[in-house]
Structure 1
């Protein structure tokens, strides 16, 4: 374990964590006005906000965290390294001289003194790009300036005059940002978490989700585990899900549970979900009843995902919970079967598994702390019964005691 002192990396680690949580804070702020905006990290800059259609940067953000705030220094490494980083990042854009140059933001916990170019580059009535540029050029050209920033300052001066102006014109200094220890208050406010007994639990739930997203955003070695970006809409969906969970609000039901037409029922003929019910000799009228739940539950889940009422992660958990109830029921009814048990008896056991499973899953909520219509659980468990022949053995389920063998026979016949 690292010891506190000259070799401690605590400040650097805090800076990384701050960058991650600042990205969440910035995305939360944008989610109220533009849910389509997307964020990514550590590609062109610390944090980037993207155009959802072109996936090109609208904003490049450098985050600088100093626990002991103090003033921003015009000759400091934090700023000039940011300038060099922006110059390098802009070289990768297709048309760096285009009018749609991304915004370049420096977010720092330090404060911009009034007599510095930092103050001139803040948003507001005192902003003066020309004066800021002149002062920056003076600082950059000073041969007595710190050696640690000499290369970065030289890189800035090497730009053509019009390019320097364009670069500085795109800069925004956001000083006095909250330090890491105060960030939770800002996050709770922007996420709409009101003070209550569950406020910290709600914030922890959202931050836990966000850190998982951050790991995927930073993944570089395994493309299958990497996320290109996270949208404000995804965050808004998770925020609503968490807040509804603690407020005990139900998911909206937008599908009406009407009887299926004969044509709609016929459309399911040949599907595994129907075969599963025929293997236990279920009457056609009951098959039609179960297909109705299957049909509308599938449509309702799609609507929730499409309108960002629930996350795919929560639906995955919901399916796991239903699968657990089926497994307990299946094991209880089939553990005493023997090889000589007749086919009719096995079908009877399968019907008991189906009926008892439906009773068990009826009360399982799709969103924790809420109430979900029983047919959502019924239809969702049938959707799992329709997927036994996929590559998800952990989700395999069926009603007949020998459903695995029957599924294999079905696959062989289809080949």
Structure 2
């Protein structure tokens, strides 16, 4: 991004592009769940009410201190867009309403104040608009004046009556706090994380709409459902799952990965696919824990207590599986026992949850791999003789 003071800076333009979807999220949260929104269809933003009324909104994110004057192109360019829609949809029979959202403030005494939400009436709009337009020598304004002159007096009165200006609209940096007002049922310490996840999901929908991948509007109930689902993950008996489907950066090298938990699996002679899955589970669990820690979602000592539970259950099953092995047991029997112990950890430990409603499998599977990767001595192992082999290789006391 260019320097804020540079004549070549595109900072305000860039903010305007980001402002659009974030502002749309705020408005859809304010509207009923049956409402819907389009981006960049008939205008910057378009709201559809349950009754079918379409409100076309022009968004103007202006530099600080900008003023909205009688001949501001921000207003008259929007009028041209709205006029085209008004005529296309039947004039007085049109289902359109027209909104200008601008972060700029109206200039003192501007006739545009007749279009604000607090204006008492619209009797003077047509005449004052004609008077203002007549003072302009701009070619653009001239074209708009000609198009307006094609409307009858009744149509002009009707058209102008549909326009509302919302000046001093909150700036992009103010929107998160306003969106958070709709998150009051969520614990205060979790609201920032919930907002970030909701906005991330919303931005993905916006990109799909702008790219043409999504043709239908986004409905208010979709936002409510998603917000509810995200909020559920921040309850006391749950934790957010944000690494489902994620993969480590770079290529997964099953044959040469030097980590201890991978070596343990290679000793069991597992397939490359199973070892690759284990590497992915380790990555997701490790990154997920880091995310929980960054968001301060974990209770002090919670991870340590959880790992102690896993080790206790692992040691109990290990004793069952290794019970029939003797010190001189053959290698094949040891391999079978090790595979069975690992199969149990991979497939039969779904009830060993860090919290009751955290059911994502990679949390448990990855936790076992984290324990199997502990240095200098793994806290869990699979092959009955792995610790002896490790002692020989690294001189670690078993």
Q: Normalising by structure 1, what TM-score? A: 0.58
- Flag the 1:228–1:335 CA change in 2: closer, same or farther, 3 A: farther
Q: CA deviation at 1:235?
A: 1.1
* Residue of structure 1 equivalent to 2:348: 359
* Residue of structure 2 equivalent to 1:9: 10
Judge conservation of contact 2:55–2:97 (CA < 8 Å) in 1: yes
Aligned counterparts of 2:245 and 2:356: Cα–Cα separation in 1: 16
- Flag the 1:373–1:212 CA change in 2: closer, same or farther, 3 A: closer
Judge conservation of contact 2:186–2:231 (CA < 8 Å) in 1: no
Residues 1:25 and 2:26 are matched in the alignment:
yes
Aligned counterparts of 1:318 and 1:12: Cα–Cα separation in 2: 35
- Flag the 1:190–1:139 CA change in 2: closer, same or farther, 3 A: farther
In the alignment, structure 2 segments of 5+ residues that lack a partner are 248-260, 272-336, 362-398
- Flag the 1:337–1:9 CA change in 2: closer, same or farther, 3 A: closer
Q: Secondary structure at the match of 2:159?
A: helix
Q: Normalising by structure 2, what TM-score? A: 0.60
Judge conservation of contact 1:83–1:156 (CA < 8 Å) in 2: no
* Residue of structure 2 equivalent to 1:35: 33
Residues 1:235 and 2:200 are matched in the alignment:
no
Residues 1:127 and 2:120 are matched in the alignment:
yes
In the alignment, structure 1 segments of 5+ residues that lack a partner are 252-309, 322-327, 339-347, 378-415
Matches within 5 A, 1:15-414: 15-30=16-31, 34-51=32-49, 58-93=54-89, 95-98=90-93, 101-113=95-107, 115-124=109-118, 126-140=119-133, 142-192=134-184, 196-220=188-212, 223=213, 226-248=214-236, 336=269, 357-363=346-352, 371-372=356-357
- Flag the 1:336–1:70 CA change in 2: closer, same or farther, 3 A: closer
Judge conservation of contact 1:137–1:157 (CA < 8 Å) in 2: no
Q: What does the per-residue CA deviation read over 1:265-291, in whole Å, with 9 as the maximum and x for residues that have no partner?
A: xxxxxxxxxxxxxxxxxxxxxxxxxxx
Q: CA deviation at 1:39?
A: 0.8
Aligned counterparts of 1:249 and 1:231: Cα–Cα separation in 2: 30
- Flag the 1:117–1:317 CA change in 2: closer, same or farther, 3 A: same
Aligned counterparts of 1:65 and 1:373: Cα–Cα separation in 2: 42
Q: CA deviation at 1:201?
A: 2.2
Q: CA deviation at 1:241?
A: 2.7
Q: What does the per-residue CA deviation read over 1:113-138, in whole Å, with 9 as the maximum and x for residues that have no partner?
A: 563332222224x3311212221122
Q: What does the per-residue CA deviation read over 1:150-205, in whole Å, with 9 as the maximum and x for residues that have no partner?
A: 32233223322222222111111111111122222212123437783333222222
Aligned counterparts of 1:153 and 1:116: Cα–Cα separation in 2: 18
Q: What does the per-residue CA deviation read over 1:349-373, in whole Å, with 9 as the maximum and x for residues that have no partner?
A: 99999865553333569xxxx6339
Please tell me whether Structure 1 or Structure 2 has the larger radius of gyration of its CA atoms: 2
Q: CA deviation at 1:250?
A: 5.9
Judge conservation of contact 1:28–1:191 (CA < 8 Å) in 2: no
**Backbone CA RMSD of aligned residues:** 4.0
Aligned counterparts of 1:64 and 1:98: Cα–Cα separation in 2: 28
- Flag the 1:43–1:180 CA change in 2: closer, same or farther, 3 A: same
